[in-house]
Each structure stands twice: as C-alpha cells, then as structure tokens.
Chain A
Amino acid sequence: MMSDPMIPRQYRISRVRRETADTFTLELTPVQDEGTFSFAPGQFNMLYVFGVGEIPISISGDPANPRTVVHTTRVVGTVTRAMGTLKRGDVLGVRGPFGSHWPVEEAEGNDVVIVAGGIGLAPLRPALFYILSRREKYGRVVLLYGARTPEDILYRRELGRWRAQFDLDVYVTVDRATGGWRGNVGVVTTLIPRAPFDPLNTVAMVCGPEVMMRFTALELRKRGVGADNIFLSMERNMKCAVGFCGHCQFGPTFVCKDGPVFPYRRVKDLLAIWEL
C-alpha cells in the first residue's frame, strides 16, 4: 500500500532542555533507524502527542547534524502543554519536513539581517547555524532579537557565544526590562535603523508575530532593503501540512506548501487585508 502522508513516524526524545518558564527544546531521534533526517532551514514538522493532537513546529536544530531533530516549543494550549510534560525516552509522532525555506544559499555574497521576535528565533536558528558554518561566503551578519522580558530570552548560552564572535553582530531588546537588565528596551523594529548592514546588498529573514513582521518589513524597506530581499515566515492554523485540509490558506497561498517562508513581495498586499 502506498504511504500515507498523514501517518507519523515515531521519534524518541533523547534530551529535554528548559529554555524559559514556558519554552522547552526537545531533541529527537528516530525509533526505527531511518538513517538521516535532512531539512532546509525554515522548514517545519508536524509533531503528534499520542492521543492529544498534532501541531506544526519549526525545526530549530543544526541542518549539518541530520541525526537529531530539534524543536523549540512555547506552551500556549492543549498540545504544547502536553508536549511540555514529556520526558527523555518518551515517543512523539513526527511528519515532515514540510514547507519552503530561508534563502540561505541565495543570500551568499550579501549581508544578512535576521530579525526575530519571541519564539520566532526558533525557525531562524538553523539559518544562523548554516550561515555561520560558511561564514566567509557572506558579508556582515546581523541578528536582531526581541523578547518580552529578559527572562524570555531563548538560547541564552548560544546568544552569549554568538555575541562574543566578532563576525556576528547580535542586538537584543526586551519589551519590558526586569531585574538587572541593562540592554535595549523597546520593540525589535527600533533596532533596525542603527543596525550595521548595507541595505542595497542585504537579505533579511524575519520571523515573529504578524504585526512585528509587518512593521519590521516596513522599517527594512525604509532603510532601502528591496522587497524581493525580505523574507517572512507566516503562521496559520494547520491540520495536514500537505495541502489537503485548507486551513492554512492565506489569500491565494497555502502556508504549508507555498510557505511558511515567503518573499515579502508575495505577501505584502495580503498582509494589509484585514482578517484575510
């Protein structure tokens, strides 16, 4: 019988890492040895918690390590909550990888600006891994990251390491300062005017809440980045990820197969339509 794209494969949790109070990272390895799992930065998987439900979650690991599948998830509802209670050794269902990817190859020879809001850093992390492993092929590489509070900052250790690297500019801002935060306060778009990149030779990759992406794209355009060089990753309800269920429609596009990563030019007008 032909394979059914709605049937998950089983993956065992090999590691659980608490990132913040409501966010955790799972590392998964296949239960049946399937060899390798290859994906492109920006793609996602459908993760199934036994009996509870299935949701789209971006792949946030290093594409150069095809033996482990990494996902960072924020608890917001039924399935994410159940997923958050899973432990090392437990099994999840995985379907994927699905969708379009960040233009990491096309960006070679250019400056790269990565703008992330909140959990939006997760789907951009594979792009950073990819670019940093071929660092000499790119111009300046800038990461602009906004979190709600300092406690919500993801991948702290990595950010620390990346910050110390002189070939990567990392700017972090928080919406609300707490504790001893002495860094930037304000939305991530406020970092764009001062960020060091050459707008005419820049590829921008943006992921975060929809409003954040809209304003980020406008700021980038204001600095002179071309609409064809800005890429956004869209979120919509997804029930299948393979183009059958219709839930992910965004105007004429299906986010699961035409996206989630779109060139800004393709979605600019759609983003302006209310309740599309």
Chain B
Amino acid sequence: MTQAQTFERFIFDRQYFLSLFEALTRRGYCVVGPTVCDGAIVYQELTSPDDLPIGWTDQQDGGTYRLKRRNDQALFGYVVGPHSWKKFLFPPRIRLFRARRTERGFNIVLNDVASPPAPDTPYSALNDPPSGISPSIPIHPTAPKFAFIGVRSCELHAIAIQDKVFLGGAYVDPTYKVRRENAFIVAVNCGQAGGTCFCASMNTGPKATVGFDLALTEILEPARHYFVVEVGTDRGAAVLQDIPHRPAHIEEVQLAEEIVARTARQMGRQLDTTDIKELLYRNYEHPRWDQVAARCLTCANCTMVCPTCFCSTVEDVTDLTGEHAERWRTWDSCFTMDFSYIHGGSVRASAKARYRQWMTHKLATWIDQFGTSGCVGCGRCITWCPVAIDITEEVRAIRASEPNHKEKTDGNT
C-alpha cells in the first residue's frame, strides 16, 4: 500500500519520548506532568518518562476515584486527577512581599513574585493558613519556567479562562504573568473519556484545538506505540526538531482523529447549556438549592480541584518581634464563611447561598464577567465531592422543573 503523506502532522515513536524531556530540560524548563502518587494521578516535577503513569488508568464517578491497571503500556491512558495546572501558574500559596519595620514606618524589602511555587505542596495543606514568618523559603532571582506535559483540551480552556482573570483586566497579576509566559505546553488529546467528563457539552474537548506548543495523540497498536504530533507554535516546532520524527501518513492522522471522535461519544456526563445564564438567573430562589444544600458539606473540595476557580485570600502576618511582616496570597473558596464576611456577619451565611454562588458563578455570572463559561466540563468537582454532588445533575433538575421544559436529545449519551 502506498501511503500519502501530510505535512501537518508528524510521528514520533514512544522510545523518543525521552528526547522530548531532554529537549525541554536543555532549554531550561522544569518538566511537570502526571505521575502516580498516593493512589491518584497528580501533576508534579518529572525527571523522565518513567515517572509518567505508565499502564495506569482512572475510574471515576460521583464521589469516586480509583486507579486501575491497564492491559497496555499507555503513558496517557487516564483522564484527569485532583490536580490541575493552575497550581503552577497560580500557586496555592505565595508570598507577595516582605516588609521590615523602620524607625517611623516600614520598608518593603522584597517582592519575590519570581520565586518558584512549591509544586510538592501536599494537597491537604493547601488550606492551611500561613503560620507566621517562613524565612527558609529560598529567593530565586529568576522566574520558574515550566513545561507542562499532558495538558488535556479542557485544561487548555481552563488556562485560557484564568488568563482572562489574571491578564485580561485593567490590572495584571505579575505572579501569573511570568509563569504563564514562560510555560511550554504539550497537550494530549484524550483517548478515552472519564466517568464524570462532559467537555463535549461545554465545547472544550476532547480534542486540543488551541493554546498548545505541541499536541500529541497517543496511539497503541499491538506492534507499535507512537504519537501523532501537531505543532502549535514556532517554539513547539523547534522542540520537535530535537526529537527523531517524520511526517505522518494520512492513515495515522485518520486514526488519531478517530480516537478523539470515539472519546467524544463516550462522555460520562452531559450538560445542556442552552440559555444556561438566563436559566440560572431566573432560578435564584429555586427549591433545588435547599435540597443540594442539605447534602453539601461546604468542604470546598469542588473549588480546590476546579481548574478555573481563581479566588484567593490575602493574609498579612508578622513575626513574634513585630519587626518583620509578610503578605501571603492563598487559594480561597466561596464555600467558607469568612469569604463574604463584612462587619455584622457573612453575606452568604447559609450553605444554600454558598452552593448557589459557586454554581451560578461557574455557569452564569462568569459569562457576564469574562465572556465565557467558568466551567470546562472536566468533571473534577463531581469526582472529588465526598457526597457526590453533580453539577450536571443540579442543572438538569432546575431545567426539568421549568413549566415548558423539553428534554434535549442530542448525540451525547
């Protein structure tokens, strides 16, 4: 069989994945990507392709996440875990400045926005408030330069959404900006959908279309294990030059397309977004909010795992002598009581008001604020909710209760 060639896609074999790592490391990138840790696939600094979750997959449903062995050696045969790339671009805890008391005032002695985040911050510690001063944190003169390996399409959209928050307004967050501009992104098209995924409904996947330097589709055949590569930027093209590769044959490209098309048909969940903003705006007083609030533990898991949630708190602290002060920014959640506190009490004192704030923000007010949905359909909030509250189910319930509701029937089942 003669194979037609297309110059839009390239092929490199599994054995050259190491060359990708080397090409990135040589360019000064800190390579971060998926790895198995404590029973979940998390994003961490990687030293070689051996750190990838080779041969693992994840089983997900409302309130459940389980790792399972695959019967192959896939590098990206899982979906998404509890981490998202936001922990590198928008660090869970970062010191914004240090200050020292002077005779009649104070001096801001340091603004280390360029210091690296701690990618190994334990997940459980993300909510801990800073306890006093931590002089041990090293000061790095240069900004961290991350290469993200294995970014899914929904995650590319989530990054684009956070770009609007931190870079798109009148003020720019320098912490985010420097990390974002430095980041090299290797996307991976999803070869299977997770049990809680609904990116097809949100138009955010499963195929990576924008926002990457390189995008890979992993193909496992009995005798061959290779990647179909799409180049997104000149930077990506330069890195590809360092990896032994060749132009893809049309059949290989078609196979890759088929894989994502199959993934799109496998979506674990779906969410009908028709007039979603108006739907939620007219249902601020819906009884469904009381029902979901009766289950919600206001634990804030959903906001911590969500790749688009951007809320933070700012804490000013001093040491015991009162001579040194620091300002820290920490991830925060609209599920806490303090979040909306003003003199006289919290604005959103009830769990109902807090759940409603979260879901209405994701799906409705976000659209007014940033011109895009705040949900990319990654399913994390469903998987990691201890009581399996499901955003798609909540929307469905509110929609179904409307007088002239018609069940929407599209292909995604």
The interface of chain A, by Cβ under 8 A from chain B, is 1-8, 10, 12, 31, 48, 50-54, 76-77, 89-91, 93, 235-237, 239-240, 242-247, 249, 251-252, 254, 257, 273-276
Contact = CB atoms under 8 A, between A and B. Distances in A.
B105 A90 contact: yes
Q: Which of B169, B318, B327: most chain A Cβ within 10 A? A: B327
B332 interface: yes
A246 B325 contact: no
Interface stretch (B17-25, B107-115, B256-264, B387-395): B107-115
B107 to A, nearest CB: 8
B244 interface: no
B318 A51 contact: yes
B369 A244 contact: no
Given A243-B171, A249-B357, A54 B316 contact: yes
A5 B171 contact: yes
B342 A237 contact: yes
Contacts of B411: none
Contact of A31 (B105, B169, B340, B348): B105
A239 B312 contact: yes
A12 B102 CA distance: 13
Q: Which of A76, A245, A247, A251: most chain B Cβ within 10 A? A: A247
Contacts of B338: 237
Interface stretch (B8-16, B40-48, B172-180): B172-180
Given A6-B314, A52-B316, A53-B316, A246 B332 contact: yes
A273 B349 CA distance: 14
Contact of A237 (B101, B318, B339): B339
A30 B334 CA distance: 36
Given A2-B177, A273-B284, A247 B313 contact: yes
B350 interface: yes
B311 A54 contact: no
Interface in B171-191: 171-175, 177
B332 A48 contact: no
Nearest to A92: B105
Contact of B166 (A1, A31, A237, A244): A244
8 contacts: A2-B172, A6-B314, A50-B99, A50-B105, A236-B340, A242-B169, A274-B353, A275-B349
B102 to A, nearest CB: 8
B86 interface: no
A243 B165 contact: yes
B361 interface: yes
Nearest to A31: B105
A4 B312 CA distance: 16
Q: Which of A3, A31, A53, A252: most chain B Cβ within 10 A? A: A252
Contacts of B106: 10, 50, 91, 93
B359 to A, nearest CB: 13
Nearest to A6: B96
Nearest to B350: A275
Interface residues of B, number: 56
B250 interface: no
Given A4-B96, A239-B312, A251 B111 contact: no
Interface in B105-135: 105-106, 108, 111, 113-114
A235 B316 CA distance: 21
B347 A276 contact: yes
A1 B114 contact: yes
A10 B314 contact: no
B105 A239 contact: no
B51 interface: no
Kindly list the 3 A-B residue pairs having the minimum CB-CB distance in the complex, ordered from nearest: A91-B105, A51-B318, A246-B311
Contacts of B327: 6, 54
B96 to A, nearest CB: 5
B335 to A, nearest CB: 12
Contact of B329 (A1, A6, A51, A243): A6
A240 B327 CA distance: 12
A254 B348 CA distance: 16
Given A239-B313, A245-B313, A76 B171 contact: no
Contacts of A50: 99, 101, 105-106, 318, 325
A273 B364 CA distance: 16
Contacts of A91: 104-106
B348 A275 contact: yes
B8 to A, nearest CB: 37
Contacts of A7: 96-97, 108, 111
Contacts of A93: 106
A257 B170 contact: yes
A12 B105 contact: yes
Nearest to B325: A51
Given A93-B106, A237-B339, A249-B361, 16 more contacts: A1-B174, A5-B172, A31-B105, A51-B99, A51-B322, A236-B347, A237-B342, A243-B165, A246-B334, A247-B340, A273-B285, A275-B349, A275-B352, A276-B284, A276-B353, A276-B357
Contact of A51 (B312, B316, B343): B316
A114 to B, nearest CB: 23
B399 to A, nearest CB: 20
B317 interface: yes
Contacts of A53: 315-316
A51 B97 contact: no
Given A54-B316, A252-B368, A257-B169, A247 B104 contact: no
A89 B105 CA distance: 8
A12 B311 CA distance: 32
A276 B354 CA distance: 9
Contacts of B361: 249
Given A51-B325, A276-B353, A243 B343 contact: no
Nearest to A256: B171
Contacts of B364: 252
Given A10-B106, A236-B340, A242 B170 contact: yes
Given A1-B114, A2-B172, A4-B96, A254 B166 contact: no
A254 B105 contact: no
A144 to B, nearest CB: 23
Interface string B69-106: 00000000000000000000000000011010100111
B167 to A, nearest CB: 11
